[in-house]
Structure 1
């Protein structure tokens, strides 16, 4: 499993964009994780799936409602990762009203989840291999704080907990 001080894996994720800008065309665009993290402070959190009950009702909203506080604490961007395709993540971004607040990044084949060792096997529930629920603070591509949830829990990876650690 990824540890404090480790660099984020050199993986390419995908982000669905509804508006052209900053080198992004409409539709899915590649996001080189290592390049996108250089020189930035990131609040990163991952969820098992878009549109799932806890993820939609609690996890994403806990970050959306604290966007300004994260920015004030020096966080450049907030990333939400999920093992879904970029079209689903784009639709979920619309549903959660995250545009301009949180980057909704698709880890379509679970490459990021596998590379970090933060996978969750939900095959028995019909969801296949997913990402575990977690949050992390990343500075210049390196993990500074990591909060990994126990299976089925949402207690330590929420926006309030990570914000308190950032403000620390």
Structure 2
């Protein structure tokens, strides 16, 4: 069973590299822990997941949509936007740099897929050469309580996109 509106977001640890505007794309800083409950207590946040960085839908529409919607999300009280993927924090750091996420979206890895599993939102993409990954989804959390869950059931970005999330805030 997957996470539902009204649930408390599970605690978990993701890994990310804080934004540094002076950092070259080839730099390899060490990711640090992003502790869900510690970071999101008392805040309104959006957590969205992509099956894979540098894949077409993730790169062409899902992530750019949230980067573009940064100010609109802030105006609705969102203080954190976190993009997660079942890869390591190093890959997510490179993806953040390549797509110029800056400080608008925290790009965090869930390399062991433990957090994604705790949400009930993993999928097996072994047949596509990708192994266990996250489903494409978006969750709105307010002081750790889930207020919206949009899970894609087909290819593309609808219920998990920035526009859908904005309409629910």
1:8 paired to 2:9: yes
Equivalence for 2:103: 100
Match of 2:145 among 130, 142, 146: 142
Larger displacement relative to structure 2 (8-17 or 130-139): 8-17
TM-score (norm 2): 0.91
Secondary structure at the aligned position of 1:70 is classed as: helix
1:41 paired to 2:34: no
CA deviations over 1:109-156 (Å, ceiling 9, x no partner): 111110010011101111000000011110011110000100433221
For structure 2, the residue ranges without an aligned partner over 5 or more in a row are 22-28
Is the CA contact (8 Å cut-off) linking 1:44 and 1:81 kept in structure 2? yes
The residue correspondences of 1:40-119 to structure 2 (distance < 5 A) are: 40-119=43-122
TM-score (norm 1): 0.92
Is the CA contact (8 Å cut-off) linking 2:67 and 2:101 kept in structure 1? yes
Is the CA contact (8 Å cut-off) linking 1:3 and 1:143 kept in structure 2? yes
The number of residues matched between the two structures is 161
User: Root-mean-square deviation (CA), in Å?
Assistant: 1.4
Secondary structure at the aligned position of 2:9 is classed as: coil
Is the CA contact (8 Å cut-off) linking 2:19 and 2:102 kept in structure 1? no
